[in-house]
Structure 1
Amino acid sequence: MALITKIREKSGIAAAAIAISLVLFLVGSDIFQGKSSLFGSSSQEVGQIAGESIMIQDFQKKVEEATANYTAQTGKGPSEQEAASIREQVWNQFVLDIAYKKEFDALGLKVSEEELIDMVQGNYIHPSVRQQFTNPQTGQFDKTFVIQFLKNLKTMPAQQQQAWAAFEKSISQDRIRSKYENLLRLSNYVTQADAQKEYQAQNSKFNARFLFVPFFSVADTTVKVTDAQLEEYLAKHKDQFKGTNTRSIQYATFPVIPTKQDTAEFYTQIKKLAKDLAVAPNDSAFAMLNSDVRTPYLLPYAEIPAAVKTMLPTFQVGGIYGPFKEGLTYSIYKYGGVKKDSLFTMRASHILIAPANKSDSAKAQAKQRAEAILAQVKGGGSFETLAQMNGMDGTAQNGGDLGYFKNNGGMVKSFEKALFGFNGTGLMPGVIETDFGYHVVKVTDAKTNTSYKLAAINKTIAPSQATLDKVFTQADAFANANGTVGAFEAALKKDKSIIMMRADRLQENSSAVNNLANAREIVRWAFDDNTAVGDGSKKVFEQDNQYIVAFLTGKTEKENVKVEDFRIELTALVRNEIKGEQISKKLAGIKGTLEQIAQKYGAGALVETVQDQTLAGGMLNTAGPDAVALGRIAGLKNGKRSAVFVGDNGVFIAEKTGGVAAPALADYSLYKNQIQMMGVQRSSFYINEAIKENAKIVDKRYKFY
């Protein structure tokens, strides 16, 4: 009886325990993953904008909607790079919806229903509407297309109606943003004094002689910089050193290379495919089915790999040729003969000399220069080098190479006619005139209208699963044995075969680490709150044909700028300050002419002369465009010498030997407009930066993607 009473007494406790256990079971995983609202939901926060939290669920929903729209428009899912771009667009939309909207609302900016109608089908059509409703036959915007679309909108699927609503919202926001930016642009005012100052800076000229002792003339090793000096400099110049969240890592790479056995098995496979291709009833279909990289059956000469081109004259119909190697890909071909096309293909290089303007004299000068270059090439000069030195279009850096092109109107008519009228290869005898200027041309591949029937099987040699597993086991063992940077560095000293790389100052949203293109997993690990400086990844990261073990070696924080974050930059600046003081002190005690002072100072001191310099675009020989020195010299009176002063790049004593101030103008509007235009061009960027700074944006996307 006593036992029963005892059980009853304890039954309430038992029931409570069961209830608590049930609750923990239901929410436990969320609690321990930081997702439960019982303990806050900061771990689910993807960012903050103007004090508003953006939760990952809301952000991801928008990303999924944008991804669905992208897929519907393109007919394919986004690549990793495109997915990152979509997430960036969604984030910017949140910034617009929250941070910008607060500014818009404060000024009462909006787009009325009447204005929206006008933007879609009225007198002032929005550019996006024009783009969407351009008649494909005429290439012109057709308002009747818009009106017809809107009449049918209610009968369209819900998804299409939602897409149109989103489109109208986007053009409304774009219009409000334009209004806002235009308002702020109107506040950009340039005074008469500003315009006059700019005019003088561009047009007043001076001559000068100066003694210059560059900072680099004093060896860095002779100047000791202490941490206390770096701390002091940083404290005085905080505005110049903005903090950012970055991480620095070192990592060991374990490349996965096919073994001899992998290679032997691959060659066996290639030989079998070659035999099967030889007897395949439909050789092109068989090749497509068995290729890692598919290529068309009919190939113009221009698209045939170089190694195959050299052997092409020896090919016989029905023959099997190869394998031809390009990188890690091996190709075998079955030759099926040739086919004549209606269009010709050729390859050429050119050197374009464009006239300075459309006048006859400018054209004559351009033609004369082109003919002189043609003569140089005929005399044995390198076409590629002359193209790099003289070419006036984007092909110059590639030696003038235009690549392969057809006679289908892709080139200017006069240029195309001249080239396709030329037989063979080599330098064309005369220059070719087009609307762009005068061209010196060398045909590098003769015109042809022949396509080749080539059934190609392209196979890429790859390591076997056994090889992959073996290398992974090595990387995993290394990660477990070396959990810290110290252990990693010790391992490097013992084993010189370990490949070590480093990556400094990775950004939160970086997707690449050096040449590792898709390395978000490594970056996320480096920025994880649980990863401390000195930690090893323990986990092995897979990257293409290699495995990675990473170690966190450094970090910087936006809100906590330290000397270590900018040690190299700070050291250079402080060292130059010290050098400036030392050089100035030595120069101050020397009297005489500039030449005498330089001689007494000794090695490193230079005396130089400049003529017709301006404050806006001056160049002081060895010192370059030293702004401090230019300002000090321009401010001297003619015939006067300055005291010793420190410039951007060294220490100076300057004498102004002459100068002519620009004459006063009755109207400075040209210079006023220049300054105004520069302000307008920059305003959009500055507005965006100011709004983002004011919104105190915290971006935590790196924790999730």
Structure 2
Amino acid sequence: MSIIQNIRDKAAWLVFIIIALSLLGFLLMDSVSGARGRGIFGGNQTSLGSVNGQEIDYVEFQKRLQLQENQLQQQGYPINEMMRQNIQEQVWNQFIEENVLENEFKKLGLAVSGQELNDILFGDNPPADFRQQFTNENGQYDANKAKQAVDALKKQKNDPMSKNFTEQYLPALANFRLREKYTALLANTYYIPKWMAEKTTAENSQIAAIKFVAVPYNTISDSLPEVKVTDEDITAYISKRKEEFKQEASRSISYISFSAAPTAEDTAAVRTNLENLREEFRNAGDAAQFLTRNNSDVPYFDGYVLKSRLQVPNADTIRDLPDGAVYGPYLDGGNYVVAKMLGKRSLPDSVKCRHILISTQTNTDSVAKARIDSIVGAIRGGASFASMAAQFSEDPGSKDNGGEYDFGSQQMGNLAKEFADFIFYGSTGEKKIVKTDFGYHYIEVLNQKGFEQAYKVAYLSRPILASQQTENTASGAANQFAGESRNAKSFDENANKKNLTKLIAQEIKANDIMIPGLGSSRQLVRWVNEASIGEVSEPFNIEDKYIVAVLTEINKEGLMSPAKARALVEFQVRNQKKAEVIKKKIGTANTLDAVAAATQQSVLNADSVRFSSPFIPNVGQEPKVIGAAFNKAYQSAVSAPIAGNGAVFVLKTESVSAVSDGGLNADEQRKMMMQQMRQSAGFRAVDALRKAANVKDERAKVL
């Protein structure tokens, strides 16, 4: 493996893992710990469930999770438990959608040829990652360079990156193209007739002037017996709207948290420890060895960091330290740190170089050295560096490009130290044979830009952790509470007696990895989904606390219970009852003045009610009233009482007219409507297929 291949693996150009998962993630449109019940770890179950009878394999699922995590890490996102749970749901949905779409692709005979894949990679509209990596100095996509890189990668049959490219990236590209074809077919089936567009345009231009009486719901007291909302009322309401009030199976708990976070004494002990090491650190001749010997939480970096990139607490103070001086201890996040200045120098922000590599992995050391010496002799004798690189270099990533590379200073840590030291610390025009773990390089520094002061700093860092005594105190308190509280009643009594704060976690689902407010808590989630109502847990150690929980609620999949739905719908149901009270007040009044007198309200005017808008000026969003305003029957008589969002309305339409506001004409309206329908075609189709699919989710039994 060449030095440049090492760079690829750690950081840069063709992270095909990332690209593959980016494409797979796109198909959605809108790592899990443990191996319970799987293979040699617990049983024979290797399936996480099925979609339309097709099983979802544990190993393949975990592979996708890891790839997705790699993608996000490469993009700089922290992989915390919330992120991991989101990734798990995304990957699960990917498997579902791939299954349902694969069947549709087969029915329609859709396929992607090898030539199509080449057109995608090397055509006028390549993937964004390809375009970004293989854009030349003129800002144009270099398809030839991209093809050379891909051809070189494919030749490395046993290389993990080559496998990821052929087994993950290319299939993802093919799936993406199939999705495009499928969506295009669906989109082209949508059609808006001209008469419909003309009707929509005509209706949207209408404006009405109305007189009305509004009787607000807040004029009726909530304490009236006739507006009391019962569970039966809630059930009747949600039963008519089952799709809106469907729920997943979930559970709820109450819990007590016993803190095991570092105390002030623990924090002081870490600081004192570093203070005692400060002078020894200052006098240490080998900083790297000292940090290793003293178990520094921050490893030694044998390199310089540009002033603009030295982004640590107290950076200004650290930069001003003389060589050999130390500063600290100071706080950096959850650590105490002592910094030691090791050196300063000017360093370029970017370097352009070229090299020829003769590998010591495919040649003996003596043969490699002899070959590089011969190549150097030929170049000094007038041979072209680029032609020698193309003929002899064993770095496939650069041999066809004259051996050239551009590196930024932030990539120094990803390069072999000897290689990085020469191109960044050497001078423009300098040439040298450099040996690394990969072989012998003949390197020339072509250009260096953006010189800036840089610093080499060693950091002795210790995390602020809870002492054993702190851990024992928290654990002991949690175990005592759990031992005394073996049911819901004693749990509540003991919490009150000990003046402990009882917290609540609701709607915990079987596949959750974490519980909001608690962090990574998969073990607790498993207990929650196996416990009975009123059962109290043993203490769970979650991050810096011990948790004792009691199961308080089990919500089955299906329609919400009245108790759960009440908070969501009680207001609407009460307003419905108030509307009936108001209608009785209105009685048989058949003029606006009579309605106003019966309800002690005023007759109001609205002279700019638009058919195309759900809002009434100075009233609010009242779509039912808008619709009634354009009812011809109400131009000659007052309307029946209308139960709106904020009041009961009775109205009479004074006039209806058409006003052009410079909006879309019928043809433009038709094009816009068709475009909107076609844009949503893919999502609507996949959503319908997902709902119709027979999905069996057994992740909670395995993960």
What TM-score results when the alignment is normalised by the length of structure 1? 0.66
**Aligned match of 2:401:** none
Letter of the aligned partner of 2:240 in structure 1? K
CA change 1:163–1:152 in 2 (3 A) is: closer
**Aligned match of 1:646:** 643
**Aligned match of 1:582:** 581
**Aligned match of 2:176:** 174
Q: Deviations over 1:445-482 (max 9, x none)?
A: xxxx8878876545443211232122112212323332
CA change 1:87–1:140 in 2 (3 A) is: same
CA change 1:698–1:583 in 2 (3 A) is: farther
Shift in Å at residue 666 of structure 1?
11
Shift in Å at residue 216 of structure 1?
3.8
**Does residue 1:246 correspond to 2:245, yes or no?**
no
**Aligned match of 2:611:** 615
**Aligned match of 2:676:** 678
**Does residue 1:481 correspond to 2:484, yes or no?**
yes
Question: Any gaps of 5 or more consecutive residues in structure 1?
Answer: 1-32, 344-448
Contact preservation (8 Å) 1:51, 1:695: no
CA change 1:631–1:73 in 2 (3 A) is: closer
Alignment of 1:55-134 (within 5 A): 58-64=57-63, 67=66, 79=79, 84=85, 87-88=88-89, 90-112=91-113, 115=116, 119=120, 127=127, 131=131, 134=134
**Aligned match of 1:500:** 502
Contact preservation (8 Å) 2:130, 2:146: no
Contact preservation (8 Å) 1:230, 1:574: yes
Question: Any gaps of 5 or more consecutive residues in structure 2?
Answer: 1-35, 350-451
Contact preservation (8 Å) 2:318, 2:341: no
Alignment of 1:423-438 (within 5 A): none
Shift in Å at residue 646 of structure 1?
0.6
**Does residue 1:661 correspond to 2:658, yes or no?**
yes
Aligned partners of 1:683, 1:218: CA distance in 2, in Å?
46
Alignment of 1:511-522 (within 5 A): 511-522=513-524
Contact preservation (8 Å) 2:291, 2:460: yes
Contact preservation (8 Å) 2:592, 2:638: no
Aligned partners of 1:258, 1:147: CA distance in 2, in Å?
55
Contact preservation (8 Å) 1:133, 1:143: no
**Structure 2 SS opposite 1:542:** strand
RMSD (Å), alpha carbons:
4.5
Contact preservation (8 Å) 2:257, 2:546: yes
Alignment of 1:226-305 (within 5 A): 226-259=230-263, 261-281=265-285, 291-292=296-297, 300=307
**Aligned match of 2:552:** 553
CA change 1:704–1:456 in 2 (3 A) is: same
Alignment of 1:322-401 (within 5 A): 322-325=328-331, 328-332=334-338
Contact preservation (8 Å) 1:67, 1:77: no
Aligned partners of 1:316, 1:34: CA distance in 2, in Å?
59
Contact preservation (8 Å) 2:212, 2:592: no
CA change 1:663–1:334 in 2 (3 A) is: closer
**Structure 2 SS opposite 1:653:** strand
Shift in Å at residue 685 of structure 1?
1.9
**Aligned match of 2:382:** none
Number of matched pairs = 553
**Aligned match of 1:366:** none
Deviates more, 1:640-649 or 1:555-564: 555-564
Contact preservation (8 Å) 1:199, 1:671: yes
Aligned partners of 2:71, 2:509: CA distance in 1, in Å?
32
Q: Deviations over 1:563-592 (max 9, x none)?
A: 344232232332121111112221335576
CA change 1:260–1:166 in 2 (3 A) is: closer
**Structure 2 SS opposite 1:551:** strand
Contact preservation (8 Å) 1:629, 1:648: no
Q: Deviations over 1:422-444 (max 9, x none)?
A: xxxxxxxxxxxxxxxxxxxxxxx
Shift in Å at residue 697 of structure 1?
1.8
Aligned partners of 2:146, 2:130: CA distance in 1, in Å?
10
Letter of the aligned partner of 1:229 in structure 2? D
**Aligned match of 2:448:** none
**Structure 2 SS opposite 1:232:** helix
Contact preservation (8 Å) 1:623, 1:650: no
**Aligned match of 1:541:** 540
**Aligned match of 1:700:** 698
Aligned partners of 1:673, 1:592: CA distance in 2, in Å?
44
**Structure 2 SS opposite 1:698:** strand
CA change 1:318–1:144 in 2 (3 A) is: closer
Q: Deviations over 1:136-174 (max 9, x none)?
A: 666514146437845884663375257414433332222
Aligned partners of 2:129, 2:267: CA distance in 1, in Å?
57
Match of 1:466 among 444, 461, 469: 469
Q: Deviations over 1:578-633 (max 9, x none)?
A: 11111222133557655x7446524xx56554342322224225642221122112
Aligned partners of 1:232, 1:53: CA distance in 2, in Å?
39
Aligned partners of 1:501, 1:666: CA distance in 2, in Å?
55
**Structure 2 SS opposite 1:483:** coil
**Structure 2 SS opposite 1:239:** coil
**Does residue 1:218 correspond to 2:220, yes or no?**
yes
Indicate the percent of aligned positions where both proteins have the same amino acid.
Answer: 24
Letter of the aligned partner of 2:532 in structure 1? A
Aligned partners of 1:318, 1:148: CA distance in 2, in Å?
46
Aligned partners of 2:111, 2:690: CA distance in 1, in Å?
21
Shift in Å at residue 72 of structure 1?
11
Letter of the aligned partner of 2:92 in structure 1? W
Shift in Å at residue 549 of structure 1?
1.9
Aligned partners of 1:112, 1:342: CA distance in 2, in Å?
46
Contact preservation (8 Å) 2:318, 2:327: no
Aligned partners of 2:641, 2:464: CA distance in 1, in Å?
69
Aligned partners of 2:584, 2:165: CA distance in 1, in Å?
72
Shift in Å at residue 331 of structure 1?
4.5
Contact preservation (8 Å) 1:206, 1:611: yes
Aligned partners of 1:304, 1:147: CA distance in 2, in Å?
38
What TM-score results when the alignment is normalised by the length of structure 2? 0.66
CA change 1:132–1:593 in 2 (3 A) is: closer
Shift in Å at residue 667 of structure 1?
5.7
Shift in Å at residue 124 of structure 1?
7.7
Aligned partners of 1:571, 1:72: CA distance in 2, in Å?
45
Contact preservation (8 Å) 1:126, 1:171: no
CA change 1:199–1:48 in 2 (3 A) is: same
Aligned partners of 2:482, 2:329: CA distance in 1, in Å?
40
Contact preservation (8 Å) 1:63, 1:86: no
CA change 1:264–1:183 in 2 (3 A) is: closer
CA change 1:519–1:221 in 2 (3 A) is: farther
Letter of the aligned partner of 2:540 in structure 1? F
Shift in Å at residue 265 of structure 1?
2.9
Shift in Å at residue 647 of structure 1?
1.2
Shift in Å at residue 252 of structure 1?
1.2
Letter of the aligned partner of 1:265 in structure 2? A
**Aligned match of 2:415:** none
**Structure 1 SS opposite 2:254:** strand
Contact preservation (8 Å) 1:246, 1:508: yes
Aligned partners of 2:177, 2:669: CA distance in 1, in Å?
31
Shift in Å at residue 691 of structure 1?
0.8
Contact preservation (8 Å) 2:282, 2:325: yes
Q: Deviations over 1:635-685 (max 9, x none)?
A: 355575323211133211223344422469996121112222222232222
Aligned partners of 1:503, 1:489: CA distance in 2, in Å?
16
Contact preservation (8 Å) 2:131, 2:141: no
Aligned partners of 2:616, 2:49: CA distance in 1, in Å?
49
Q: Deviations over 1:306-348 (max 9, x none)?
A: 8786x899988877655545665444556789988999xxxxx
